Amino acid sequence: MAASLCVTVLAAGKGTRMRNALPKVLHPLAGRTLLEHVLVTAAELTPDRAVLVLGPEMESVAVVAGRSPLAPAIVVQEPQLGTGHALMVARGALPASGVVLVLFGDTPLLTGTTLARLIAARAEANAAVAVLGMRPADPTGYGRLRLESDHLVEIIEDQHADQALKRVGLCNAGVMAFDGARLGALLDALPARPETGEHYLTDAVAAAVASVR
């Protein structure tokens, strides 16, 4: 029997770099908003549950999400203290078993096939977390995936990556698939970054590796 699937979409970002008042995930692309593209792709996976994390005063985003067949449960992240904190806030809406797939509401060009392959790869490895990697033509600004013996052991922010790791060019695409039974322990282990006080979901990889060493 296949494990149950919960799709969680993080969409609390204000999108200040868009230079307008429209929430980032509601900007249009090819006849749909960015968020609608993400929800349509997620629906291809026929998840058992869907959760959408928003910031305060994002009712317009909730309205758009409500039109999706997924009918995601809405969780409000306030204050907004990073991607890891977003999942901490949503914890009560997440299952205690199965698979929790984390997507971003401003990443519209992924396919259901790609997401299904990530979910399958996590299951095959019985991993606490699996991460979608990519090799962009210009990797500037992307977190880097550090491997040991072909196993992911850490995600390092671009500004903290050394030149050897940057030459490898393997980057974090942002999508993560978690074992729901182990997700709670990983969230508990996420540190607050001293420079910002934020909790980064990318630190869950190092936490997962530390838990088995």
Q: What is the pLDDT of residues 108-133, one digit of tens each?
A: 999 999 999 999 999 999 999 999 99
Q: What is the pLDDT of residues 68-84, one digit of tens each?
A: 999 999 999 999 999 99
Q: Where are the alpha helices (DSSP H) in 79-192?
A: 83-89, 112-125, 163-168, 180-189
- What average pLDDT does the segment 15-32 reach? 86
Under 8 Å between Cβ of 170 and 132: no
Q: Which sequence positions are flagged as catalytic? A: 17
**What domains, with CATH codes, occur in the chain?**
5-211 (3.90.550.10)
Indicate if the pLDDT at residue 150 is higher than 50.
yes
Under 8 Å between Cβ of 45 and 7: yes
**Predicted local confidence at residue 19, as pLDDT:** 72
The pair of structure tokens assigned to 63 is 């309205």
- What average pLDDT does the segment 34-51 reach? 98
Q: What is the pLDDT of residues 26-35, one digit of tens each?
A: 999 999 999 9
The helix (H) or strand (E) run that includes residue 130 is strand 129-134
Closest CA to 14 of 75, 61, 67: 61
Long-range contacts of 145-151 (CB under 8 A, 24+ apart): 145/170, 145/171, 145/172
10-19, 103-112, 151-160, range with the lowest pLDDT: 10-19
Q: pLDDT grade, residue 40 (50/70/90)?
A: very high
Under 8 Å between Cβ of 25 and 118: no
